[in-house]
Amino acid sequence: MGFLEVVLISVSLAMDAFAVAVCKGMAMKRGTTRKGVIIALYFGTFQALMPFIGYTLGLRFEKAINSIDHWIAFALLGIIGINMIKESLKNDDEDVNDDVSFKTMFILALATSIDALAVGVTFAFLRVYIFIPLICIGLITFVMSFLGVKIGNKFGEKLKNKSEILGGIILILMGIKILLDHLKII
């Protein structure tokens, strides 16, 4: 897996966190810098930690499913991508406020990083050296989350759904690329 692919996956994984950060920013009247850093730290940390957990789990099962790992990677990335797109198209207004307490941020960070766990499993099956992607995922999520708070505070709802759709499309395309690479089609 090349650096560009790692960056694209990192950006895709960060889209959920970005969307929630935009909502958080929309709810803030002031104090966006301090709260933005707190939000970005939670999201960046969880987005980097969850692929590591998934990677560790994936290594335990690698030998048992080595012959179908590319199909699993394709399915996981496709399902995550489709789910992101479906969630973005729902017209339900999430109840988001500017609370950055431990409990609130822990739940939000965990919820937005579940897909990163599955990507970590995929990294294990693809035998990716995990530390560069973890750093990239964490940093990109941190930056995008911080910017999401600032953008949300300025511009509001317009960007939220579009970012989730883009992230979903990128993950689906990455899954297709992994499958086509393994099948030696591209």
Give the C-alpha separation, 92 to 107, whole Å. Answer: 19
State the pLDDT at residue 156. Answer: 61
**Extents of the domains making up the chain:** 3-182
148 vs 175, higher pLDDT = 148
The predicted structure's pLDDT at residue 94? 53
- 61 contact partners, CB below 8 Å, separation of at least 6: none
pLDDT per residue as tens digits for the range 7-53: 999 998 898 888 888 878 877 877 689 999 999 999 999 999 999 99
Q: Kindly report the pTM of this predicted structure.
A: 0.74
pLDDT exceeds 60 at position 117:
yes
